[in-house]
Structure 1
Amino acid sequence: MQQAIAILDSGVGGLTVVKEVMRQLPQEKIIYFGDTARTPYGPRSANEVRLFTKQIVDYLTQFQPKLLVIACNTATAAALDYIRSAVHIPVVGVIHPGARAAVKTTKISIVGVIGTEGTIKSEAYVHALKQLSPHIQVIQLACPSFVPLVEKGLFHTKETKLEIEKSLAPLHKEKMDCLILGCTHYPFLRNTISSVMGNEVSLISSADETAREISTVLYHHDKLATSNAIPIHQFFCSGDSKLFQQIAQEWLGEQIKVSPVVWQVPRII
């Protein structure tokens, strides 16, 4: 049986990483878990996010994956080191790949970051960017309304455009040449965000760089898939599986099956 790459997120956002992994590593099997029943993670405490992330990891380990991807910026900021210490397989987050892409892109060393309240409060992107480029200037903005819009599948509505314009207004007075979409949900809104920010601001999604890191880590551990068979991916979610399936099929451009998961332990709400 082919060992899979396990990818988890607070909801549908991690599908942006899934799409890029499917494109760059088409032979790799993916097992995905979206915690749609408890999304968004952004307003929650770091301890809650760690607890939820560990619970999902424990669920995914039954499939004996060869690598784990925390495809949620909030969970990466709160739980990456904790999860790495708790499992015996490589664990990849999405913050450092996104920071690397921004450092490679910016010409003026002024980078914007939008994300959930939890990600922005953690300053994880600030630390990651300055670790790579100590003199870089980082401008952060929390956009808490974006994740609920994506989770409801409201990508193209007039109301969503107005909300994005309102949320991003504080950035218009800032000088920057690239903006990190510091939440894996945000690429669903990429076209509208781009139109609001203008052509002079490059948008950075961590999905592309994360997929490259996955490839590098698997190669380093001699775990790249060797079979030419088309992999059969598995998708799980803890909330509305029909809505999740609808969003996933639109984003991935193919038919998928989603299995709902009912937690057997008390939820923290």
Structure 2
Amino acid sequence: MVASTHRDRPIGVFDSGVGGLTVLHELLVQLPQEDFVYLADTARFPYGERSQAELQEFSLQIAEELIRRQVKLLVVACNSATAAALPLLQERMMRTTLGVDVIGVVRPGAVHAVAATRTGRVGLLATTATVESGAYAEAIAAADPHVDLVQVPCPDLTEIIEGGFPFDQRVVDTVRRYCAPLREARVDTVVLGCTHYPLVRPMLQRMLGPGVTIISSGAPLARQVEHVLGSRSLQAGRTEGEGTYSFLCTGDPEPFRTMGTRFLQMPLGEVAQVDVAGGALAGGGPALA
């Protein structure tokens, strides 16, 4: 039986910026009794053009910070970090004395897309790092090798979305340009391979057409989190009321709080600034208690 102190620990969630708040939103809705701590690596945003080595180092540093905060589960709410670092994170986090499971956003979205497609033609909109990693191609092939995947790297879309509201003609033109090859390929399902992209979902739907199913990873990932908590007997001990959620960022907290409220669709409250560089997990040091 898992000790109640383990059950009552928070779930850690991280992303390069505010995009992962679209995932946190689904987690808060589907798992209202759980506590969450969200870390945004805004000082090093964006992740989309980073190398695999950089993303692995950043991810391990962030994991170290969240282990210090006694998380019971780690959610990588960033496609680029998931694609580059998930196996390494899973191996390192299970070696800590807490033995923490790690869940990424790629596989839940890929599996959902395979289930949704009617024609076997699936599109992917993602950062350059995510496309080049081949993570979605591998996950979709594992779920159904007969599904064709059309991948479109969107090197500037994340930064444009995070640049602020309201969206102007530049955003419209950029989204239309990235949708064009998917329309030409006649895909019937499109995976949003970046957690920022749900913010322009209405625009994407209009340009892709009403017959195209758009898949974002937040809801299927939340279901996987619920399953893992149940299988590990780690569900929060409370039976009534709502859990708490708190925020950390590596950059200036004020812009994150302002933009984050729009992404989360809930109040953020206080945001604490942290320095995550140089963690023991990244350097291969001893596991934390």
TM-score between the two structures when normalised by the length of structure 2: 0.88
Count of residue correspondences: 266
Q: Does residue 258 of the first structure (1) align with residue 271 of the second (2)?
A: yes
The question of whether the paired residues in 2 share the 8 Å contact of 1:155 and 1:189 is answered with no
Deviations 1:156-199 (A, max 9, x none): 32221122112322222111100000111111111111111111
Q: Distance in 1 between matches of 2:119 and 2:266?
A: 40
Give the SS at the match of 2:198.
helix
**Range moving further from structure 2, 179-188 or 248-257:** 248-257
Partner AA of 1:193 in structure 2 = L
- Deviation at 1:119? 0.5
State the identity as a percent. 37
- Deviation at 1:230? 2.5
Deviations 1:78-129 (A, max 9, x none): 1000011101211101111001110111001110011000100011111100
Structure 1 equivalent of residue 142 of structure 2: 131
Deviations 1:5-62 (A, max 9, x none): 1001111111011000001000111100111111111111100000000011111111
The question of whether the paired residues in 2 share the 8 Å contact of 1:110 and 1:176 is answered with yes
Structure 2 equivalent of residue 247 of structure 1: 259
Structure 1 equivalent of residue 243 of structure 2: 231
- Deviation at 1:265? 4.5
The question of whether the paired residues in 2 share the 8 Å contact of 1:154 and 1:160 is answered with no
Give the SS at the match of 2:167.
coil
Partner AA of 1:150 in structure 2 = I
Q: Does residue 53 of the first structure (1) align with residue 41 of the second (2)?
A: no
Partner AA of 1:24 in structure 2 = Q
Q: Does residue 156 of the first structure (1) align with residue 167 of the second (2)?
A: yes
Structure 1 equivalent of residue 200 of structure 2: 189
Q: RMSD of the alignment, in Å?
A: 1.5
Structure 2 equivalent of residue 168 of structure 1: 179
Q: Distance in 2 between matches of 1:13 and 1:215?
A: 21
**Range moving further from structure 2, 232-241 or 102-111:** 232-241
Q: Distance in 1 between matches of 2:137 and 2:126?
A: 12
Distance 1:10 1:188, change over 3 A: same
Partner AA of 1:9 in structure 2 = D
Instruction: Please list every run of at least 4 consecutive aligned residues from structure 1 whose deviation after the TM superposition is greater than 4 angstroms.
Output: 263-266
Structure 1 equivalent of residue 36 of structure 2: 30
Partner AA of 2:137 in structure 1 = V
Q: Distance in 1 between matches of 2:166 and 2:46?
A: 17
The question of whether the paired residues in 1 share the 8 Å contact of 2:158 and 2:196 is answered with yes
Q: Distance in 1 between matches of 2:188 and 2:112?
A: 13
Q: Distance in 2 between matches of 1:233 and 1:157?
A: 32
- Deviation at 1:73? 0.7
Structure 2 equivalent of residue 7 of structure 1: 13
Structure 2: unaligned runs, 5 residues or longer: 94-98, 280-289
Structure 1 equivalent of residue 85 of structure 2: 79
The question of whether the paired residues in 1 share the 8 Å contact of 2:61 and 2:276 is answered with no
Give the SS at the match of 2:267.
coil
Partner AA of 1:76 in structure 2 = T
Q: Distance in 2 between matches of 1:242 and 1:207?
A: 25
Structure 1: unaligned runs, 5 residues or longer: none
Give the SS at the match of 1:69.
strand
**Range moving further from structure 2, 156-165 or 37-46:** 156-165
Distance 1:12 1:20, change over 3 A: same
Structure 2 equivalent of residue 102 of structure 1: 113
Partner AA of 1:27 in structure 2 = Q
Of residues 39, 45, 50, the one that matches 2:45 is 39
Structure 2 equivalent of residue 67 of structure 1: 73
The question of whether the paired residues in 1 share the 8 Å contact of 2:10 and 2:37 is answered with yes
Q: Distance in 1 between matches of 2:47 and 2:129?
A: 8
TM-score between the two structures when normalised by the length of structure 1: 0.95
- Deviation at 1:229? 3.6
Q: Distance in 1 between matches of 2:151 and 2:249?
A: 30
Deviations 1:176-233 (A, max 9, x none): 1000001111111111111111111111001110000000000000011121243221
